Amino acid sequence: MDKKKIILGLTENSGNQAIKQKAFQLIGNIRWVGFSTIGINETTPSNRIFDLNLLDDGHLYFGTAVGKPVYDELMKNPNAAVTGTTEDWLMVKLSGEVSRTHSIEIMNKFYAVNPGTKALYAKAPDAFKLFYFAKGHGELLHLYKPNKIIRFRFGFGGIAPPPNRYAINSDCNSCGACAERCTTEAITPGDRYAIDPKHCLECGACYDTCPVNAITKYDGRGA
Near ligand SF4 by CB under 6 A: residue from 30, 60, 214, 223: 214
Contact pattern from residue 159 through residue 198 relative to ligand SF4, giving x for each residue in contact according to CB under 6 A and a dash for the rest: -------x-x---xxxxxxx--xxxx-xx-----x-x---
Q: How far apart are CA 208 and CA 135, in angstroms?
A: 33
Q: Which is nearer to ligand SF4, 128 or 193 (CB)?
A: 193
User: Interface with ligand SF4 by CB under 6 A: which range of 41-49, 86-94, 137-145, 209-217?
Assistant: 209-217
CB of 147 to ligand SF4, least distance (A): 9
Cβ distance to ligand SF4 smaller for residue 69 or 204: 204
Q: To the nearest whole angstrom, how small is the minimum distance from the Cβ of residue 171 to ligand SF4?
A: 7
Would you report the helix, strand and coil content of the chain in percent, each value rounded to 5? Answer: 25, 35, 40
- Least distance (Å) from ligand SF4 to the CB of residue 176? 5
Tell me how far, at minimum, the Cβ of 93 lies from ligand SF4, in Å.
17
Closer residue to ligand SF4, CB minimum distance, 40 or 167: 167
Task: Name the nearest CA neighbour of 75 among 26, 114, 122, 131.
Answer: 131
Q: Does 36 sit near ligand SF4 (CB under 6 A)?
A: no
- Using the rule CB under 6 A, is 215 a contact of ligand SF4? yes
Q: How far is CA 150 from the centre of its chain?
A: 14
CA distances from 89 to 85, 92, 145, 149, 214 (A): 6, 9, 10, 10, 32
Q: Which of 58, 108, 212, 221 binds ligand SF4 (CB under 6 A)?
A: 212
Residues 6+ apart with CB under 8 A from 58: 21, 24
Region of 37-45, 70-78, 95-103, 203-211 interacting with ligand SF4 (CB under 6 A): 203-211
| DSSP one-letter code for 144 | E
CB of 109 to ligand SF4, least distance (A): 41
Q: For 66-109, give the secondary structure using H, E and C.
A: CCCHHHHHHHHCCEEEEEEECCCCEEEEEEEEEEEECCHHHHHH
| Distance separating alpha carbons of residues 176 and 169, to the nearest angstrom | 14
Number of residues that bind ligand SF4 (CB under 6 A): 29
Residue 214 in 3-state DSSP? Answer: coil
Beta carbons within 8 Å of 116's beta carbon, 6+ residues apart: none
Contact set with ligand SF4 (CB under 6 A): 166, 168, 172-178, 181-184, 186-187, 193, 195, 200-206, 209-210, 212, 214-215
